[in-house]
Structure 1
Amino acid sequence: MSKSTSPPVPALSIRIDLDSEGRIGPGKIQLLEHIHATGSISAAGRAMAMSYKRAWDLVDELNRICGQPAVERQTGGKNGGGALLTPFGLTLIKRYRGIENAAATASRKELLALKGDIGKKRRF
């Protein structure tokens, strides 16, 4: 496999600080999306190559920093437990993706300019 010689593509990664100890970023939002798709914290963690404990801890952190549950865990039943996003959890994904899209749109021109600058040899 050959190495690409094209300059790297600058991109934004949005993290939103909700309090002094907690933030929401692309990883937590992706975890919520996987939970929504699979109905399972465990399956969502596996899809992201993280342990169940790590996924569980991130869900607990999200619920804590948001002051309301984004995910509800369901226990027992014939097929075992599961997890569902609350209406707030669905709104959280929608708002985050909206902020992410707005930031990408607003910064597109500057990111393209930065891409053009990366790798250029400069004389000082």
Structure 2
Amino acid sequence: MKEITFKLNGRIWMEIDGEQMLGPGRVELLERIQASGSLRQAAIQMKMSYKQAWDIINHLNSQLDAPVVISHRGGKGGGTAVVTDQGIQLIQEFHCLQQKFHDFLIENSKNV
């Protein structure tokens, strides 16, 4: 009989009141906003509509104690978007949690 090797896999999501709030895609959006200084550019880079990106950020901002992104409407030169200290902390906490989860999966894959 052939021996089967299993590998554990999964994704981390942070929830508030049972609602998914933050996962890998949203963290990537925050990181791209931080890098580019633009919600529009971040949306383009992620191949999502500006409205979808705007809705995600608005939802995060409305559900958390403090905004994660502050945006300023643009004129000729376009607007800007800044990831706040709260947003940066959220990114860091997510990556820390993701690393712990990854380590857990590796460690427990040996026992399957």
**TM-score under structure 1 length normalisation:** 0.76
1:3-82 equivalence runs, <5 A: 10-76=8-74, 79-82=77-80
Which range moved further: 50-59 or 75-84? 75-84
Greater than 6 Å deviation, 4+ residue runs: none
Distance 1:96 1:109 in 2: 20
**Could you say which residue in structure 2 is the equivalent of 1:122?**
none
With 76-85 and 100-109 compared, the bigger mean Cα shift is at: 76-85
Q: Distance in 1 between matches of 2:110 and 2:65?
A: 38
Count of aligned residue pairs for this structure pair: 108
Unpaired segments ≥5 residues, structure 2? none
Output the CA distance in 2 between the equivalents of 1:41 and 1:72: 10
**Separation (CA, whole Å) in 2 of partners of 1:18 and 1:28:** 15
The aligned counterpart of 1:121 is: none
Shift of 1:8: 9.2
Is residue 19–residue 65 contact of structure 1 (8 Å, CA) maintained in 2? no
Match for residue 98 of structure 1 among 96, 99, 102: 96
Deviation for aligned residue 1:50: 0.4
Q: Give SS of 2:78's match.
A: coil
**2:7, 2:32 → 1: CA distance?**
26
Alignment RMSD: 2.0
**Gap regions ≥5 residues in structure 1:** 1-6, 115-124
Bigger strand fraction = 2
Give the greater-gyration-radius structure (CA).
1
**What is the CA-CA distance between 1:107 and the residue it aligns to?**
2.0
Give the superposition deviation at 1:10.
Answer: 4.7
Report the Cα offset of residue 85 of structure 1. 0.3
